[in-house]
C-alpha cells in the first residue's frame, strides 16, 4: 500500500541531504582539529551558506504537491490519541497484530520531530542571515545570533542522530520513505487508524471485514489469532 508519493519523498530526501551538508560543514568550521585537517575553510563556509539558505526550498517546491500539503495538515494536528501515545509505555504493544493506540499516518513523535525541524530551519535562517551579513546589525544581535546558531546546531545534530537511529530500527518505515509503500501488516502494527482510513476509502467489494465490532484484518485472514487477546510487543 502507498504511504508516500514521489514528491513527498523527494522533499524529505533533499531536505535531509541539505541538513547533513550543513552539519558536516559546521563541524569543519567549528572544530579546530577538523579545520586543520581538512583546510579550505573559505570553501566549506560557502558550501555551508548555500546549503543553509537552500533548506526551505524543497518544502516550498513541495507545496505544489497535494499529497505534501495533506501530510503537512496531518503533521500540524495533535489529537488526544497523540497525547495518549506520548504518555503510554506500551507504544509498540499489539493485539492480534494491531497496535493498541489509534495512531494515524504520523505518530506523536514524528509530529514533534517535524515541528522541531521546521522551527529550527526558520531560526537557523534568521541567525544565519545575521552572521552572513553582519554589518547592518548591532553587536548585541550578532552575539545573540552566534550563541543561538551554535547551540541550535548541536541540538539539531542530536535530533538528527535520534531520527536516524529510530529509522534504522524499522525496516518498514524505511521502505515507506525510500520506496513509497508499506505492507498492511506494518501499518496495522504502527499506524492502525491510518490503515482504517485506507480501508474505508476502498470500494466496498474489495474490503475485508472482520466479525461484528472487530477491526478489518489487513492480512486477509480474519480467523488467525482470534483466540489470542493478550498484548504483545511487535
CB of 84 within 8 A of CB of 101? yes
Give alpha helix (H) positions in the chain.
Answer: 6-30, 32-38, 41-54, 57-62, 66-75, 80-87, 108-132, 139-168, 171-178, 184-190, 192-200
% of the chain with per-residue pLDDT over 90: 71
Residue 49's pLDDT is what? 96
CB of 129 within 8 A of CB of 56? no
Residue 219's pLDDT is what? 44
Residue 208's pLDDT is what? 53
75 falls in which pLDDT band (50, 70, 90)? very high
Q: Which residue has the cell 513541495?
A: 62
Of 187, 22, 2, 44, the residue nearest 117 (C-alpha): 22
Q: Which is it for strands 98-99 and 93-95: parallel, antiparallel or unpaired? A: antiparallel
Q: What angle do helix axes 139-168 and 108-132 make, rounded to 10 degrees?
A: 150
Distance between CA 141 and CA 105 in Å, rounded?
41
Over residues 37-46, the pLDDT tens digits come to 887 888 999 9
CB of 190 within 8 A of CB of 103? yes
* Whether pLDDT at 50 is above 60: yes
Residue 103's pLDDT is what? 94
* Whether pLDDT at 77 is above 80: yes
Over residues 168-225, the pLDDT tens digits come to 999 999 999 999 999 999 999 999 999 999 887 665 444 554 444 444 554 444 433 4
Distance between CA 93 and CA 139 in Å, rounded?
53
Query: How far from 59 is each of 15, 63, 117, 118, CA to CA, in Å?
Result: 8, 6, 12, 10
Say which residues have a Cβ less than 8 Å from residue 26's Cβ, sequence separation at least 6: 48, 153
CB of 59 within 8 A of CB of 53? no
pTM, to two decimals: 0.80
Amino acid at each position: 500500500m502507498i504511504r508516500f508519493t514521489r514528491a513527498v519523498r523527494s522533499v524529505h530526501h533533499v531536505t535531509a541531504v541539505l541538513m547533513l551538508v550543513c552539519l558536516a560543514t559546521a563541524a569543519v568550521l567549528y572544530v579546530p582539529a577538523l579545520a586543520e585537517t581538512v583546510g579550505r575553510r573559505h570553501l566549506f563556509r560557502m558550501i555551508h551558506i548555500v546549503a543553509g539558505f537552500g533548506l526551505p526550498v524543497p518544502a516550498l517546491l513541495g507545496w505544489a504537491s497535494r499529497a505534501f500539503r495533506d501530510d503537512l495538515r496531518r503533521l500540524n494536528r495533535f489529537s488526544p490519541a497523540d497525547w495518549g501515545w506520548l504518555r503510554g509505555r506500551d507504544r509498540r504493544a499489539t493485539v492480534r497484530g494491531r497496535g493498541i493506540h489509534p495512531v494515524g499516518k504520523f505518530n506523536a513523535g514524528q509530529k514533534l520531530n517535524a515541528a522541531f525541524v521546521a522551527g529550527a530551519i526558520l531560526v537557523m535562517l534568521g541567525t544565519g542571515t545575521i552572521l552572513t551579513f553582519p554589518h547592518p546589525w548591532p553587536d548585541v544581535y550578532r552575539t545573540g545570533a552566534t550563541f543561538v546558531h551554535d547551540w541550535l546546531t548541536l541540538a539539531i545534530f542530536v535530533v538528527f542522530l535520534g531520527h536516524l537511529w529510530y529509522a534504522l530500527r524499522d525496516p518498514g518505515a524505511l521502505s515507506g520513505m525510500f520506496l513509497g509503500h508499506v505492507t498492511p501488516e506494518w501499518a496495522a502494527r504502527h499506524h492502525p487508524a491510518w490503515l482504517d482510513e485506507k480501508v474505508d476509502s476502498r470500494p466496498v467489494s474489495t474490503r475485508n471485514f472482520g466479525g461484528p465490532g472487530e477491526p478489518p484484518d489487513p492480512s486477509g485472514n480474519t480467523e488467525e489469532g482470534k483466540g489470542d487477546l493478550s498484548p504483545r510487543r511487535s
